[in-house]
Amino acid sequence: MAGKRRSRRTSSVGQMLELGMAAPQVVAHRLARMAAAGAAPSARDRKEFVGMVLEKQAAFAQGWTAMWIEGWLAQQKFALAWMSGKPWTSRDTARASAALERIATRGIAPVHRKAVANARRLARSRQD
């Protein structure tokens, strides 16, 4: 089942829990690697160190863009509902809450994806 993607969507809370487990593992591995590399890191170490900076920038940009798009879509739905002239109900409150959850989930997804993938990859490299 290693090659199959999960069919269920992870909530932002679930993503944060997984991120909270993966990030310390990645940080510990990379700090140990930096300490071992010392003043003269190998080409492999330099590639890893540059990659860890670039991946954070890319994940931030992807998350920010995804949150903006999801927020824009939610705003459009609420604007259309408001223009229909119907009064605000508890169902609308639930929809607003769900929209905020989607925005948060979309925003953290790229960071979560990268951190979990790094934790798996770096755990494998320890065994090699």
Task: Assess whether pLDDT exceeds 80 at residue 127.
Answer: no
Contact (CB, 8 A) for 110 and 66: yes
pLDDT of residue 126: 64
Domain locations in the chain?
97-128
Model confidence over 23-40: pLDDT tens digits? Answer: 999 999 999 999 999 999
Would you give the distance in Å from CA 53 to the centre of its chain?
15
pTM of the predicted structure, to 2 decimals: 0.76
d(CA 54, CA 60): 10
The residues, any chain, with a CB within 8 Å of residue 9's CB and separated by 6 or more, are 105
**Cβ count within 10 A of residue 79:** 10
Which phi and psi (to 5°) does residue 110 adopt?
-65, -40
Task: Assess whether pLDDT exceeds 90 at residue 12.
Answer: no
**In whole numbers, what is the pLDDT of the chain averaged over residues?**
87
